[in-house]
């Protein structure tokens, strides 16, 4: 399975992946998922928005099901493991259960959620948010990508027949366990292959639009400029400083400049702030401070600032009884994460959810350097298999 996925969306120069939602590489991954499900005689439910669940429902398996799986999209130039490791491990765990002659008493499903990274339409976990009803379809209808393409048009051009909004896809799900590559070095430090997640930090995305006066780079005296790049530059440094002071995280990882010319003072600089912290109050306080400092600087420069919240997620503590059960089954440690996940969205929507993390020796993620040793991936499959055997018996 890993070899099948390896070339899809690969950037040969960087070694990273570009599997943006509803583009050809991500659709190839979706077709691979359907093929894997079909080969295993799993029956696929879908919600018209791209989210799918492939169900193993042997005779005698009744009631609501145990869901595993993850997502197959990537950030731009992301790693191979964030998302696909969970889907591949889920199919492999079903294979292991079948090879051991195990028949579940409850259905077992492998999920593929779309647009988890928020890389194209700006909203993280968009697929699971829509399926659970946490994102209003009217808001989603207005979402556009960087080229101005509406979400609905992107879905339609990928061959979907979109019906945006809460679907019944998850109505037959009792609980969700998402396996994921670790996105830090906690397990390296502990010398352990697999952990159970305790909580996902509060996080959000804010757009900072700095507006000034476009002018000539050579003829405009320094004191006459209204250059929005200055407040933007200061804001990036302020965000880093405030996050350090508050033991939080703040990143400007994306910027757009108009007109983006070497010999012109910009008319507008837009930067996107990703801010995270252990609790929502900490994040709100952090963003307020950054926005205030940015606004003060913009005013001093004769420029202006508008801040728009694009998406926010509260701290999500994963289901305690379920996570404790996983810890008991596996004897694995409990660790928190600063990343967002579909499992956190399902938990917010009232579906008991938990996560397993597989050691990443680089600790790096959202980058070509993201990695997991094969032996650790196999330990992850083994852990997921044991968990499924217990939870679906
Ligand atoms: C998703 O991986 C996120 O945390 O941004
Ligand atoms: Mn992920
Ligand atoms: Mn990710």
From the CB of 370, is ligand 1 less than 6 Å away? Answer: no
Q: What is the mean pLDDT of residues 239-268?
A: 98
From the CB of 124, is ligand 1 less than 6 Å away? Answer: yes
Distance 139 CA to ligand 2 centre (A): 23
Using the 3D structure, point to which of 313, 344, 377 is the last residue of a domain: 313
Answer yes or no: do 108 and 62 share one domain: yes
The 10s digit of each residue's pLDDT in 307-333 is 999 999 999 999 999 999 999 999 999
The 10s digit of each residue's pLDDT in 214-230 is 999 999 999 999 999 99
Answer yes or no: do 330 and 384 share one domain: yes
Q: What is the pLDDT of residue 71?
A: 98
**In the block, which residue shows the tokens 């995280």?**
249
* pLDDT surpasses 90 at 46: yes
Mutate to test the pocket of ligand 1, among 340, 360, 365, 367 (most ligand atoms within 8 A of CB): 340
* pLDDT surpasses 90 at 162: no
Q: How many alpha carbons fall within 13 Å on the CB side of residue 393? A: 9
Point out which residues pair with 257 in neighbouring strands: 269
130: tokens are: 């829509």
> Can you say how many angstroms the Cα of residue 210 is from the centroid of all Cα atoms in its chain?
27
Give the integer Cα–Cα distance in Å for 79 and 204: 22
Q: What is the mean pLDDT of residues 357-383?
A: 98
Answer yes or no: do 296 and 271 share one domain: yes
Cβ burial 213-230 (10 Å sphere, 16+ → b, else e): ebbeeeebeeeebbbbbb
> Can you say how many angstroms the Cα of residue 285 is from the centroid of all Cα atoms in its chain?
23
Q: What is the pLDDT of residue 123?
A: 93
* pLDDT surpasses 90 at 163: no
**Cβ partners under 8 Å of residue 389, min gap 6:** 97, 102
Q: Which atom of ligand 1 is nearest to the CA of 338?
A: 4
The 10s digit of each residue's pLDDT in 293-309 is 999 999 999 999 999 99
From the CB of 340, is ligand 1 less than 6 Å away? Answer: yes
Answer yes or no: do 322 and 299 share one domain: no
Query: What is 132-184 written as a DSSP string?
Result: HT-S-HHHHHT-B-TT--BHHHHHHHTT-----S--STTTTEEEEEEEEE-SS
What is the domain count for the chain? Answer: 2
Q: What is the pLDDT of residue 376?
A: 98
Q: What is the mean pLDDT of residues 187-200?
A: 98
Mutate to test the pocket of ligand 1, among 79, 117, 312 (most ligand atoms within 8 A of CB): 117
Answer yes or no: do 63 and 170 share one domain: yes
Answer yes or no: do 232 and 126 share one domain: no
* pLDDT surpasses 90 at 150: yes
Ligand nearest to the CA of 365: 3
Mutate to test the pocket of ligand 1, among 76, 81, 366 (most ligand atoms within 8 A of CB): 366
Q: Are 324 and 353 in contact, with CB atoms under 8 Å apart?
A: no
Helices (H) and strands (E) in the chain, counts: 12, 15
Distance 116 CA to ligand 2 centre (A): 7
Answer yes or no: do 183 and 214 share one domain: no
Q: For the chain, give the percent of residues with pLDDT over 70.
A: 100
Give the integer Cα–Cα distance in Å for 385 and 108: 11
Q: Are 5 and 84 in contact, with CB atoms under 8 Å apart?
A: yes
Q: Which atom of ligand 1 is nearest to the CA of 365?
A: 2
* pLDDT surpasses 90 at 192: yes
Nearest 5°: phi and psi at 307? Answer: -115, 130
Using the 3D structure, point to which of 269, 288, 313 is the last residue of a domain: 313
The 10s digit of each residue's pLDDT in 70-87 is 999 999 999 999 999 999
Answer yes or no: do 299 and 210 share one domain: yes
Answer yes or no: do 11 and 99 share one domain: yes
Q: Are 118 and 126 in contact, with CB atoms under 8 Å apart?
A: yes
Answer yes or no: do 49 and 101 share one domain: yes
Mutate to test the pocket of ligand 1, among 341, 365, 367 (most ligand atoms within 8 A of CB): 341
Distance 119 CA to ligand 1 centre (A): 9
Distance 70 CA to ligand 1 centre (A): 13
- Average pLDDT over the chain reads 97
Q: Which atom of ligand 1 is nearest to the CA of 274?
A: 5
Using the 3D structure, point to which of 284, 313, 342 is the last residue of a domain: 313
> Can you say how many angstroms the Cα of residue 354 is from the centroid of all Cα atoms in its chain?
15
Q: Which domain holds residue 38?
A: 2-201+318-392
Closest C-alpha to 173, from 39, 34, 322, 330: 322
CATH assignment at residue 304: 3.30.70.360
From the CB of 275, is ligand 1 less than 6 Å away? Answer: no
CATH assignment at residue 129: 3.40.630.10
pTM: 0.94
The 10s digit of each residue's pLDDT in 81-105 is 999 999 999 999 999 999 999 999 9
Distance 36 CA to ligand 2 centre (A): 20
Q: What is the mean pLDDT of residues 258-277?
A: 98
Give the integer Cα–Cα distance in Å for 145 and 126: 13
Q: What is the pLDDT of residue 105?
A: 98
**In the block, which residue shows the tokens 């700006």?**
122
Answer yes or no: do 224 and 128 share one domain: no
Q: Are 267 and 258 in contact, with CB atoms under 8 Å apart?
A: yes
From the CB of 273, is ligand 1 less than 6 Å away? Answer: no
Collect contacts of 131-139 with beta carbons under 8 A, ≥24 apart: 131/47, 131/49, 131/51, 131/166, 131/167, 131/169, 131/170, 132/166, 132/170, 132/345, 132/346, 132/348, 132/349, 132/351, 133/165, 133/166, 133/349, 134/345, 134/348, 134/349, 136/165, 137/164, 137/165
Answer yes or no: do 213 and 248 share one domain: yes
Task: Report the DSSP pairing between strands 194-200 and 215-216.
Answer: unpaired
């Amino acid at each position: 399975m890993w070899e099948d996925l390896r070339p899809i969306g690969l950037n040969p120069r960087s070694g990273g992946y570009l599997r943006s939602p509803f583009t050809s590489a991500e659709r190839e991954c979706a077709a691979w998922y359907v093929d894997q499900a079909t080969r295993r005689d799993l029956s696929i439910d879908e919600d018209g928005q791209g989210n799918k669940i492939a169900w193993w429902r042997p005779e005698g398996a009744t009631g609501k099901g145990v869901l595993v799986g993850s997502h197959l999209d990537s950030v731009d130039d992301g790693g191979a493991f964030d998302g696909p490791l969970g889907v591949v491990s889920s199919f492999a765990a079903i294979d292991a259960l079948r090879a051991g002659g195990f028949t579940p008493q409850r259905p077992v499903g492998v999920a593929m959620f779309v647009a988890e990274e928020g890389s194209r339409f700006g909203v993280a976990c968009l697929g699971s948010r829509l399926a659970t009803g946490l994102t209003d379809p009217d808001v989603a209808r207005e979402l556009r990508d960087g080229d101005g393409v509406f979400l609905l048009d992107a879905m339609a051009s990928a061959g979907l027949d979109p019906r945006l909004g809460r679907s019944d896809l998850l109505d037959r799900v009792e609980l969700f366990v998402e396996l994921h590559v670790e996105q830090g070095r906690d397990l390296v430090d502990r010398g352990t292959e697999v952990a159970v997640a305790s909580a996902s930090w509060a996080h959000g995305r804010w757009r900072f639009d700095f507006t000034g006066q476009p002018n000539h780079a050579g003829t405009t005296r320094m004191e006459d400029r209204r250059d929005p790049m200055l407040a933007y530059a200061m804001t990036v440094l302020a965000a880093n400083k405030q996050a350090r002071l508050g033991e939080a995280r703040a990143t400007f990882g994306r910027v757009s400049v108009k007109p983006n010319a070497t010999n012109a003072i910009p008319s507008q600089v837009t930067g996107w702030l990703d801010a995270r912290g252990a609790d929502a109050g900490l994040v709100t306080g952090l963003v307020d401070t950054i926005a205030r400092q940015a606004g003060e600087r913009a005013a001093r420069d004769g420029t202006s600032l508008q801040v728009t919240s694009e998406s926010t997620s509260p701290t999500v503590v994963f289901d305690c009884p379920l996570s404790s059960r996983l810890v008991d089954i596996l004897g694995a440690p409990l660790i928190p994460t600063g990343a967002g996940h579909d499992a956190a969205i399902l938990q917010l929507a009232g579906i008991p959810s938990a996560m397993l993390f597989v050691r990443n020796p680089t600790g790096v993620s959202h980058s070509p350097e993201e990695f997991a040793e094969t032996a650790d991936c196999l330990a992850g499959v083994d852990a997921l298999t044991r968990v499924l055997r217990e939870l679906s018996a």
